[in-house]
Amino acid sequence: MDPGQLHVFLEWARSDRLFPLWRTLGFTGLRRGEALGLQWRDLRFQDRLLAVRRALITAGTSTYLTAPKSSQSRVIDLEEETVEVLKAHREESKNLRPESNPDDFVFTDRNGAPVVPNLITRQFRGLVCASPVPRIRFHDLRHTHASHLLESGASISSVQERLGHSDVVVTLNLYSHVLPGSQRLAVDRLESFYDNWGSSMDRESSSRLN
């Protein structure tokens, strides 16, 4: 999914009750269980940070909390618009449930209970089928985020850290096909850096001569 398709999908889903979840997934690369395991105390709006400390998963007929897949907590940065979406979602949650507290889950069903992960996947599938974007899987939101990071010039190590991969080799194996384009972007940025540096030196030399 390219950036334009992601934008179209999120605009299409804006009126959906779970739009804050779709937005968060598309702009953080969280796994499904990690997003559903978020509690309000994991968000630091002022610093634009989100802590991944647990995951909500389903095994058989049971849904329960466990450690993230890599068994390590991590903190990731949020961009401003996602922060604003989550802030608005927080206020709406408070209005619906005035007794809410920091341990409440960020994304819940209409009664404030944790969402069953498999049900979320089905809801996402139905939303995609009704939208004007190509058919995508739930996990494609995570892959799309990682690919866009690399295409925009992010380092492979920063993407590994953000996605919570246990080793950078995992990230390389999954996204090596994106790297040629990101290398070109990095070289172009380096060229621009040297050009700007050279122009600055020329101006400095000229001012000394004058």
The answer to whether 98 touches 92, Cβ cutoff 8 Å, is no
pLDDT band, very low/low/confident/very high, at 17 (cuts 50, 70, 90): very high
pLDDT band, very low/low/confident/very high, at 47 (cuts 50, 70, 90): very high
pLDDT band, very low/low/confident/very high, at 188 (cuts 50, 70, 90): low
- At residue 183, the pLDDT reads 57
Count of C-beta atoms within a 10 Å radius of residue 154: 16
pLDDT band, very low/low/confident/very high, at 96 (cuts 50, 70, 90): confident
What is the β-pairing status of strands 74-77 and 62-66? unpaired
For 140-177, how does the pLDDT look when each residue is reduced to its tens digit (9 = 90+)? 999 999 999 888 888 889 999 999 998 888 888 888 77
Q: Which residue has the tokens 């466990």?
A: 66
Mean pLDDT of the chain: 87
What does the alpha-carbon distance between residue 24 and residue 146 come to, in Å, rounded to a whole number?
14
Q: Is the pTM of this model over 0.85?
A: no
Higher pLDDT, 182 or 111: 111
Domain ranges of the chain: 3-136
3-136 is a CATH 1.10.443.10 domain: yes
The answer to whether 28 touches 82, Cβ cutoff 8 Å, is yes
Judged by phi (left if over 0) then psi (alpha if -120 to 50, else beta), residue 11 lies in alpha
Judged by phi (left if over 0) then psi (alpha if -120 to 50, else beta), residue 119 lies in alpha
- At residue 70, the pLDDT reads 77
Higher pLDDT, 100 or 120: 120
